[in-house]
Structure 1
Amino acid sequence: MGRTDRASRLIAAPQTTVYDALLDREAIEAWLPPDGMRGRVEWWDPRPGGGFRMVLTYLDPTDSPGKTSDATDVVEVGFADLVPGERVVQRAVFEADDPSYAGTMTMTWQLTPAGEGTEVTVTATDVPPGIAQADHEAGIASSLANLASYVETPSAKSPTR
């Protein structure tokens, strides 16, 4: 079994709002890319057995060479389990020639009620060894901060699936 990385954040939004943002294409494009990246979803199928393909582009690839090309990470994500309002389990595979990025990483997004908000815990298992643990945990924390900003602001779009 590979490495496990984790990050969590308390988000001031109801579980259903957070869950909906995990399964909305426009929302994912807005909040999932960590700082220093932008994302574009190429295809989207939000159901168990479905998934999506995302191209993540580094805004400045100088110090962060991509896994797929010098400036990009391309990832195919399958939805392995969807428990409305509670959990999203994804299986992610990076497109990369370097074998240190090979394999399937499982990302579990667990949503737990916390007062008037939601504790979101992300657990990544079988993380490819080419992904530095500190960088990965910082990236997850950045995505969680983006998710919080997305769902906590009054102007957040209502997800449509």
Structure 2
Amino acid sequence: MERIDRASRVIAAAPTTVYDALLDPEALEAWLPPDGMRGRVERWDPRPGGGFRMVLTYLDATDAPGKTSDATDAVEVGFAELTPPERVVQRAVFEADDPAHAGVMTMTWQLTAVGGGTQVTVTATDVPAGIDQTDHQTAMASSLANLAAYVEAAERADG
């Protein structure tokens, strides 16, 4: 059975502001890494068929060894769909020797205007079996909290 992990949050920012943060490499480095990690974008091509490579580094790899190395998770992400300002679909492949982390995981970011902001729902399908579901959903919720803080601060600065 195909595994689906999901997280959702209302963010007090316009859909266009949230969408822009999904397609800006500096923004991604700031908000995408969940608590306990930092990220670095190494390649960037923001168009359907393009993508990026991100290296996520654990701040403390003692209890959470990485998929790519002891302290890192490297992921190749392709943009399968870009529909401003409503939807971004990504195909993610982790660089890992362990077959439990192999395969293509699809990440769909759905943005829906709601009173006072944007409902952001991220849905991960075909999640590799080696990724713990509870940990993954916690990490997605952490990334959404980071995204909210990032874009809400930008909205306040612009407003």
Once the two structures are TM-superposed, the CA of residue 155 in structure 1 deviates from its matched residue by 7.7
C-alpha distance in 1 between matches for 2:154 and 2:13: 11
Report if aligned partners of 2:8, 2:122 keep a CA contact under 8 Å in 1: yes
TM superposition score normalised by structure 2: 0.96
AA aligned opposite 1:104: V
3-state SS, counterpart of residue 33 of structure 2: coil
Structure 1 stretches of 4+ with a deviation exceeding 3 A read 154-158
TM superposition score normalised by structure 1: 0.95
Matched residue, 1:11: 11
The answer to which structure has the higher helix fraction is 2
Give matches, 1:83-98, under 5 Å: 83-98=83-98
Deviation track 1:85-134 (CA, whole Å, cap 9, x = no partner) reads 00000000000000000000000000001102000000000000000000
Structure 1, unmatched stretches of 5+, are none
Deviation track 1:56-93 (CA, whole Å, cap 9, x = no partner) reads 00000000010000000000000000000000000000
1:129 and 2:126 are equivalent in the alignment = no
Matched residue, 2:34: 34
Structure 2, unmatched stretches of 5+, are none
C-alpha distance in 2 between matches for 1:151 and 1:94: 27
C-alpha distance in 2 between matches for 1:122 and 1:157: 26
